Amino acid sequence: MRYSYYPGCSLAAAAAEYDLSLRRVCAALGVDLAELPDWNCCGATPAARVSTALALALSARNLALAQRAGLDLMVPCAACYNRLRRAEHALASEGPRRRNLEEMLNFRYTGEVKVVSAPEAVCRVGLRAIADRVRRPLEGLQVACYYGCLLVRPPEIVAFDDEESPVLLDKLMLALGATPVEWAYKTDCCGAGLALTRPETAQRLVDRLLAAAAEAGAEAVVTACNQCQISLETRRAAASPPLPVFYFTELTGLAMGVPGTGDWFRRHLVDPLPLLRRLRLAG
Amino acid sequence: MYLLTSQGEREQADPRFREEVRLRSGQPVELCFQCQECTNGCPVAEFAAYRPGLVVRLVQLGLRHRALSADLLWLCPACETCAARCPNGISVRRVLDVLRGMSVAAGLVPLNHRELVFDHLFLTGIAGRGRVAELPLLLRYKLATREILRDAGLGLRMLRRGKLPLRTDGVKNRAEVRRLFRAVADAGASPEQVENPHLLRATAGAGGGW
Ligand code: SF4
Ligand code: SF4
């Protein structure tokens, strides 16, 4: 399998361990990634807040580049995924929106190339095939799978799984030998959008989530959203449950025994090693 | 017609306001029957004096000033839960984006308002380099809001862990990205496509200071 790869601005910075672990896991699973040449920022929430037209245009430029490259576009960042899917939706519709975008970007949209989130793309390899590659089952790891907002809403445009109760990551965790816990906050908001401007409010939302995950018996959280990972690590109260927050690719890589895990885990602001050592999953 | 709010303030109802919000947001606000599904699912409702359902009600009633002054405008992290749950297909989030733009246009928020400063810096960064460079963005935000010391420790921890690289690449074809900003700002795109014209003009460099 081959994809164009859209890392997005965050994976080059605060979410570097997501990028590193995803590349390793893909290589080990035989999924080729070719970085999309000259990709630009999707505009994220600020562009959408200021102008829907601008948000669509910025995202659509990347779709035009992907169409030229001729491969489906894999997007790990949940925010970018959300914005690119909205642009895809606008381009796939008939009407002035599509014509405007085509005109602005000087291309004709064919619909041959699709936007795919990283968790979908990885799981497309097949959960059985991934389970077969597991060298170190994540036995004893009770984990809360957390999906957040951006991978599921608006459901008619972006959801690739049940919008209120998605299960893709839960199934993946089972394939890796971990135990996903049942909890009711899978798609609740972590307040990442407020992390910088209103940290106290963001912290209330994060603490609510961590408390719920701990109550459900989880010792860690796993996510496919970099906004969530960062806000869950940085906006928690000192007294909140000390759960580490993993990218799904990190746990996949750990279970498959791919090299480089140390370089991912040392970047975490909440050190995951004590937990992993206790479970004999790290040296 | 004057309406009294719970705070005992009087405001004259302005039916044009409802139509303007409806047009600009593309949301059928007249259909809202106050079921409060949006408020029940909203993660920040408990921190807001004006909750999602109430903001829609203010719009319906044409209470312009109340609606444009609602704290929820700036508290909403755009989680989209309201839109996913509303039985009438109303996205309160879209309504809030439009109200933000209108409150800026009405001069109801200072230009050094944090959310506006952040959006402005974020977008001028993209207009300039095509991509976001997180470290300069954070530093500029801290300077503009005079909050240098807040989160300084966190910033250092992130730097040490390689999460805020000093150098990041920009786009090569910056002219094309800039052209998109200009095209949208100049097109006078349909009102439901430009929620905050002031901020858009400021970031597109098409006149209008910030
Ligand atoms: S969910 Fe929809 S109909 Fe119900 S109060 Fe909110 S906006 Fe009105
Ligand atoms: S999008 Fe905003 S208003 Fe709607 S539920 Fe989420 S936080 Fe509340």
Cis peptide before B197 (omega within 30 of 0): no
Residue with the smallest CA separation from ligand 2 atom 2 is B76
Q: What is this structure's pTM?
A: 0.95
User: Which of A36, A42, A51, A232 should we substitute to test contact with B (largest number of B Cβ atoms within 10 Å)?
Assistant: A51
Chain A nearest C-alpha distance from B29 (Å): 18
Distance B70 CA to ligand 1 centre (A): 17
Q: How is the beta sheet containing A245-247 ordered, strand by strand?
A: A179-180, A142-146, A220-223, A245-247
Chain B partners within 8 Å of A50 (Cβ) = 101, 119, 123, 194-196, 199-200, 203
| Torsion region of B14: left, alpha or beta (phi above 0 gives left; psi -120 to 50 gives alpha) | beta
Q: Which chain B residue has its CA at the smallest distance from A12's CA?
A: B168
pLDDT tens for each residue of B76-102:
999 999 999 999 999 999 999 999 999
Query: What domains appear along chain A, each with residue ranges and CATH number?
Result: 2-119 (1.20.1050.140), 127-278 (3.40.50.11810)
Chain A nearest C-alpha distance from B50 (Å): 16
C-alpha Rg value of chain A to the nearest Å: 19
Please judge whether B194 and A38 are an interchain contact, meaning their C-beta atoms are less than 8 angstroms apart. Answer: no
pLDDT tens for each residue of B100-155:
999 999 999 987 889 999 999 999 999 999 999 988 898 999 888 888 788 888 98
Separation between Cα atoms, residue B81 and residue B37, nearest integer Å: 9
Instruction: Report the atom number in ligand 2 closest to the C-alpha of B72.
Output: 3
Please, are residues A180 and A169 in contact by the beta-carbon 8 Å criterion?
Answer: yes
Please judge whether A46 and B123 are an interchain contact, meaning their C-beta atoms are less than 8 angstroms apart. Answer: yes
Please judge whether A154 and B187 are an interchain contact, meaning their C-beta atoms are less than 8 angstroms apart. Answer: no
Please give the DSSP secondary-structure letter assigned to residue A182.
P
How many Cβ pairs within 8 Å bridge chains A and B?
160
Separation between Cα atoms, residue A192 and residue A206, nearest integer Å: 9
Distance A194 CA to ligand 2 centre (A): 12
Q: Which chain B residue has its CA at the smallest distance from A205's CA?
A: B43
Is the pLDDT reported for residue B178 higher than 60?
A: yes
Residue with the smallest CA separation from ligand 1 atom 2 is B86
Residue with the smallest CA separation from ligand 1 atom 1 is B86
Chain B nearest C-alpha distance from A261 (Å): 14
**Long-range contact list for A120-126, CB < 8 A, 24+ apart?**
A120/A160, A120/A168, A121/A1, A121/A3, A121/A31, A121/A72, A121/A74, A122/A22, A122/A25, A122/A26, A122/A29, A122/A31, A122/A172, A122/A248, A122/A249, A122/A252, A123/A168, A123/A171, A123/A172, A124/A1, A125/A1, A125/A29, A125/A30, A125/A31
Is the pLDDT reported for residue B207 higher than 60?
A: no
Distance B32 CA to ligand 2 centre (A): 16
Separation between Cα atoms, residue A70 and residue A57, nearest integer Å: 20
Does ligand 1 have an atom closer than 6 angstroms to the CB of B90?
yes
Please judge whether A192 and B176 are an interchain contact, meaning their C-beta atoms are less than 8 angstroms apart. Answer: no
For the record, the structure tokens of A62 come out as: 């990347």
Is the pLDDT reported for residue B6 higher than 70?
A: no
Please give the DSSP secondary-structure letter assigned to residue A192.
G
Q: Where do we find the tokens 């040490």?
A: B160
Please judge whether A153 and B115 are an interchain contact, meaning their C-beta atoms are less than 8 angstroms apart. Answer: no
Buried b (16+ CB within 10 A) or exposed e, A119-147: bbbbbbbebeebeebbeeebeebbbbbbb
Ligand nearest to the CA of A198: 2
Separation between Cα atoms, residue A36 and residue A88, nearest integer Å: 16
Is the pLDDT reported for residue B187 higher than 90?
A: no
Instruction: Report the atom number in ligand 1 closest to the C-alpha of B36.
Output: 5
pLDDT-derived band at B209 (thresholds 50, 70, 90) equals: very low
3-class secondary structure for A199-267? HHHHHHHHHHHHHHHHHCCCCEEEECCHHHHHHHHHCCCCCCCCCCEEEHHHHHHHHHCCCCHHHHHCC
Query: What domains appear along chain B, each with residue ranges and CATH number?
Result: 2-105 (1.10.1060.10), 114-205 (no CATH)
* 3-state percent breakdown (helix, strand, coil) of chain B, nearest 5: 60, 5, 40
Separation between Cα atoms, residue A75 and residue A163, nearest integer Å: 19
Please judge whether B44 and A191 are an interchain contact, meaning their C-beta atoms are less than 8 angstroms apart. Answer: yes
Nearest to A40 among B115, B130, B189 (CB): B130
Nearest to B119 among A14, A46, A269 (CB): A46
The pLDDT, as a whole number, for residue A163 is 83
For the record, the structure tokens of A66 come out as: 């992907």
Does ligand 1 have an atom closer than 6 angstroms to the CB of B88?
yes
Q: Which chain A residue has its CA at the smallest distance from B91's CA?
A: A154
Helix (H, G, I), strand (E, B) or coil at A10: helix
The pLDDT, as a whole number, for residue B3 is 63
- Residue pLDDT tens, chain A, 283 long: 999 999 999 998 899 999 999 999 999 999 999 999 999 999 999 999 999 999 999 999 999 999 999 999 999 999 999 999 999 999 999 888 899 999 999 999 999 999 999 999 999 999 999 999 999 999 999 999 999 999 999 999 998 888 888 999 999 999 999 999 999 999 999 999 999 999 999 999 999 999 999 999 999 999 999 999 999 999 999 999 999 999 999 999 999 999 999 999 999 999 999 999 999 999 7
Chain B nearest C-alpha distance from A43 (Å): 7
CA dist list (Å): B187 to A197, B136, B190: 31, 30, 8
Please judge whether A13 and B187 are an interchain contact, meaning their C-beta atoms are less than 8 angstroms apart. Answer: no
Distance A191 CA to ligand 2 centre (A): 10
Separation between Cα atoms, residue A107 and residue A98, nearest integer Å: 11
Please judge whether B172 and A38 are an interchain contact, meaning their C-beta atoms are less than 8 angstroms apart. Answer: yes
pLDDT tens for each residue of B98-115:
999 999 999 999 878 899
Give the residue, out of B51, B74, B82, with the most ligand 2 atoms within 8 A of its beta carbon, to mutate for a pocket test: B82
Q: In which element (H, E) is residue B12 found?
A: strand B10-12
| B39-68 mean pLDDT | 97
Give the residue, out of B76, B94, B99, B195, with the most ligand 2 atoms within 8 A of its beta carbon, to mutate for a pocket test: B76
pLDDT-derived band at B10 (thresholds 50, 70, 90) equals: confident
Separation between Cα atoms, residue A144 and residue A142, nearest integer Å: 7
Of B123, B114, B100, B111, the closest CA to residue B200 belongs to B123
